Amino acid sequence: MTFSLFIEQIINGLIIGSMYALVGSGIALIYGTMRVLNLAHGEFYMLGGYLVFFLVVTCGVPAYLAIPIALLAAFLLGALIQRLTIHYLLQREGWAFSTIAVTLGLSIFLQNSALLLFGENVQSVPYYVTGIVEFAGVRIPMQRLLILGVAILTIAVMTYVLKATRLGWAIRATSQDRDAAAVVGIPASRIYLITFGIAAALGAIAAAMMAPIYAITPWSGLPILFKGFVVVILGGLGSFPGAIVGGLLLGVVEAVGVQLTSTEWRDVIAFALMIAVIWVRPWGLFGSKS
């Protein structure tokens, strides 16, 4: 492998990794605030892909408009789904565990809804931008650079929201202590609703950016869900910065590993990395021991 090819693989790894990070950070936000492991999170990614496909290909909406509309739709859909299902379980003492069954059911329901609506054909979206950037022998398609740019922007916005806004403080407070948050006047159920919407939108951003590169099918959520779980386990369950670092790390290790072996090894490398991290730090890179 030449040096420039190696650099190319690292950059590709960061690009894919930034998408893993967006999906993983949604899982982490949901787990962090409401202690729910969302098994339907891959379907938010899948639906995000179809929303963009529907808007861009079927309706002919330009991508720069279609993507924000798809995000808003994903946010509303995520919030609605939370309100109709998980909300009721969290209201009841001792029912939180049933969210596993409910989100698994949701996952199956959403997959089949997509199958019904869009059929089983593999769909894709044309490139948003074309061309290749070449610098010192390293060649990166513009489309991939756009993905990285959007991911960085999204992560920056989310970090700002969590650190510096009233909503962000409420999300962090609720995730640390629901009762204490209620006592100071933060309504947990509304925070849960908004957090679920945000997490769905994060998945949809990843899907929108990946749509020109990876095929959209009713089942495209499942592999990304597994990657999302690896990411939150790497980063520490419920940690937003952990999910970002975990995602980037996973992307780079996968890309370099695949280059050294072959594509079939991709998932083996991902899970080996996860097992190695659990071995040394069972609480993840950013999680706390308790």
Partner 1 sequence: MAEAPMLRVENLNVLYGDFQILWDVSMTVGAKEVVAVLGPNGSGKSTVLKAIMGLTPVRSGKIIFEGEDLTKVPTHEMVARGISMVLERRRLFGAMTVRENILLGAYHRSVNKNTASRLEWVESLFPILAERRDQIAGRMSGGEQQMVAIARSLMSRPRLLLMDEPYLGLAPRIVSQIASIIQRINQEGISVVFNEQNVHLSFGVSHRGYLLESGRMMLTGTGEEMIHSDVIRRVYLGV
| 176 is an interface residue for partner 1 by CB under 8 A | yes
Cβ-based nearer residue to partner 1, 60 or 185: 185
Q: Which of 64, 185, 262, 289: binder of partner 1 (CB under 8 A)?
A: 185
Options 34-42, 173-181, 199-207, 209-217: segment touching partner 1 (CB under 8 A): 173-181
Cβ-based nearer residue to partner 1, 124 or 159: 159
* Residue 185, CB-side half-sphere exposure with 13 Å CA sphere: 2
| 183 is an interface residue for partner 1 by CB under 8 A | yes
| 289 is an interface residue for partner 1 by CB under 8 A | no
Q: Which of 2, 92, 121, 166: binder of partner 1 (CB under 8 A)?
A: 166
In three state form, how does the secondary structure of the chain look?
CCHHHHHHHHHHHHHHHHHHHHHHHHHHHHHHHHCCCCCCHHHHHHHHHHHHHHHHHHCCCCHHHHHHHHHHHHHHHHHHHHHHCHHHHHHCCCCHHHHHHHHHHHHHHHHHHHHHHHCCCCECCCCCCCCEEEECCEEEEHHHHHHHHHHHHHHHHHHHHHHHCHHHHHHHHHHHCHHHHHHCCCCHHHHHHHHHHHHHHHHHHHHHHHCCCCCECCCCHHHHHHHHHHHHHHHCCCCHHHHHHHHHHHHHHHHHHHHHCCHHHHHHHHHHHHHHHHHHCCCCCCCCCC
| 200 is an interface residue for partner 1 by CB under 8 A | no
For residue 247, the 8-state DSSP code is H
In whole angstroms, how close is the CB of 166 to partner 1 at the nearest point?
Answer: 7
| 237 is an interface residue for partner 1 by CB under 8 A | no
Q: Which of 39, 188, 194, 211: binder of partner 1 (CB under 8 A)?
A: 188
| 83 is an interface residue for partner 1 by CB under 8 A | no
**SS3 at position 141:** strand
In whole angstroms, how close is the CB of 131 to partner 1 at the nearest point?
Answer: 44
Cβ-based nearer residue to partner 1, 139 or 163: 163
| 182 is an interface residue for partner 1 by CB under 8 A | yes
Q: Which of 90, 147, 173, 210: binder of partner 1 (CB under 8 A)?
A: 173
For residue 55, the 8-state DSSP code is I
Q: Which of 37, 61, 186, 213: binder of partner 1 (CB under 8 A)?
A: 186
| 172 is an interface residue for partner 1 by CB under 8 A | yes
Cα-to-chain-centroid distance, residue 53: 18
| 285 is an interface residue for partner 1 by CB under 8 A | no
Cβ-based nearer residue to partner 1, 173 or 210: 173
Options 123-131, 183-191, 198-206, 261-269: segment touching partner 1 (CB under 8 A): 183-191
Q: Could you give the CA distance from residue 154 to residue 177 in angstroms, rounded to a whole number?
A: 26
Cβ-based nearer residue to partner 1, 71 or 181: 181
Contact residues for partner 1, defined by CB under 8 A: 166, 169-170, 172-173, 176-177, 179-188
